[in-house]
């Protein structure tokens, strides 16, 4: 009886994962569509992705990343 309940629990977990994977794919497709819409409007999708990534960062982390990048660019002679 306990084995049957464990099997049912496993089946429900797997089905839940499958539904979430489908939702994730749908959301991923929606995001791709928004980037394509931006591109069709004249925006650069790579730059848009970078802006989204930067906006997710904490301000201190962003400032640290920018400072390190500036040091690296200066060391390579890139202005």
The pLDDT, as a whole number, for residue 61 is 97
For helices 45-56 and 2-41, the axis angle rounded to 10 degrees is: 130
Quote the percentage of the chain above a pLDDT of 70: 99
What is the Cα–Cα distance from 17 to 36, expressed in whole angstroms? 28
pLDDT at 3: 78
**Residue 1: which residues within 8 A CB-CB, separation 6 or more?**
none
Q: What is the DSSP letter of 1?
A: -
State which residues of the chain have pLDDT below 70. Answer: 1
Question: For residue 46, what pLDDT is reported?
Answer: 98
Count how many domains the chain has.
Answer: 1
Site of tokens 């906006």: 55
Q: What is the predicted pLDDT for the residue at 67?
A: 97
User: How far apart, in whole angstroms, are the C-alpha atoms of residue 25 and residue 40?
Assistant: 22
Can you give the residue range of the structural domain that contains 61? 1-76
């Amino acid at each position: 009886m306990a084995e049957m309940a464990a099997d049912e629990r496993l089946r429900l977990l797997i089905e839940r994962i499958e539904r979430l994977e489908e939702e994730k794919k749908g959301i991923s497709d929606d995001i791709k569509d928004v980037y394509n819409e931006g591109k069709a409007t004249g925006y650069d999708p790579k730059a848009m992705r970078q802006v989204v990534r930067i906006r997710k960062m904490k301000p201190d982390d962003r400032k640290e990343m920018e400072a390190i990048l500036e040091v690296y660019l200066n060391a390579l002679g890139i202005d």
